[in-house]
Amino acid sequence: MSFVLQSRSSLCGDLDVEAVADAPLGRRTWYGIGGNADLLIRPNTVDALATLVKRCRLSQMPVRVLGSGANLLVGDDGVDGVVVMLDTPELKEIKYNTTGDIHALKAMAGADMAKTLMDTVRQGLDGLTPMAGIPASIGGAICMNAGGAYGCIGDAVQRVTCLTRAGEIVTYPTEELHFGYRETNIPDPIILSAVFHLTPGDPIALREKVKEIFAYKKSTQPLADHSAGCTFKNPIDPVSEQRVSAGKLIDEAGLKGHAVGGAKVSEHHANFIVTKPGAKADDVIKLLNDIRQRVFEHAGIELEEEVVLWRRDEGGEE
């Protein structure tokens, strides 16, 4: 703990941030399980965040960014280094800019996806409605190009501003960005903000569109349970060379209801792992491994996790 306290002083003692050592992290995720962060920092300004990132780079301190925690599993032993939360007012601000027929929204990375979406609907602006029912921060949604059957966030992105590993600010216009299935080509560890191109629409019609998407998700997903959303990405079938449903593969392998400790494959949607009180992150990890092995044995297809796993001494940007 003394090392953590020394790190806190040297990394951010003079910065406009809020810092907590040995901070409970698992409860900030949708799974609600997992260990602590050695150091949790909430910068109040972009300048403070940039300086922090530079110092972490120089001291070879791993940095992770915690968004909404919706698709994150934290190991039972917690994580080393620095975990940054971008949920202070400056870092979750949204602004509209209208010039002639061009409508744009600038959203900071910490802005809540659901709140931002509903604000655009009230303004009578379309572009983010495919994100209805997807829990995420703006930065997290862009990082994984979140989306579903109705579209993805990358469809509306005009430009993205990031912090490099050296703490420098860079902006990428849409022609330099690639948004693929659950991925982007953004090379930098921290997304600061994004500008979205929106189109005028009828607020009432947009609300109905959002309700339709919510109803679809409610009917097909176990939204009431503790989970991190879809566990695995939909893989490409090596025979057809087309993406196939990971949930269908898991179901066909006979894994609905299969449990390890307090973690279980949802009986409502096989690509969801749900947890009950007392579950451990290790239960989920063991279940993930079971699923991958059984699906490969049954279908010859390797599954790749969509859920992000943080464990001590693994991952993080240095």
Length of the chain equals 318
DSSP string of 58-102? HTT--EEEE-S-TTEEE-TT-EEEEEEE--SGGGG-EEEEEETTE
Cα 127 from Cα 201, distance rounded (Å): 10
Query: Is 267 among the catalytic positions?
Result: no
Hey, CA dihedral for 142, 144, 147, 149, is it positive or negative? positive
Query: Is 306 among the catalytic positions?
Result: yes
Catalytic residue among 56, 306, 311, 317: 306
Catalytic residue among 182, 207, 292, 312: 182
Cα 255 from Cα 267, distance rounded (Å): 9
Catalytic residue among 159, 230, 311, 317: 230
What is the DSSP-derived secondary structure letter of residue 234?
Answer: P
Hey, CA dihedral for 304, 310, 313, 318, is it positive or negative? positive
What is the DSSP-derived secondary structure letter of residue 162?
Answer: E
Query: Is 212 among the catalytic positions?
Result: no
Run of H or E including 158: strand 157-163
Catalytic site positions: 182, 230, 306
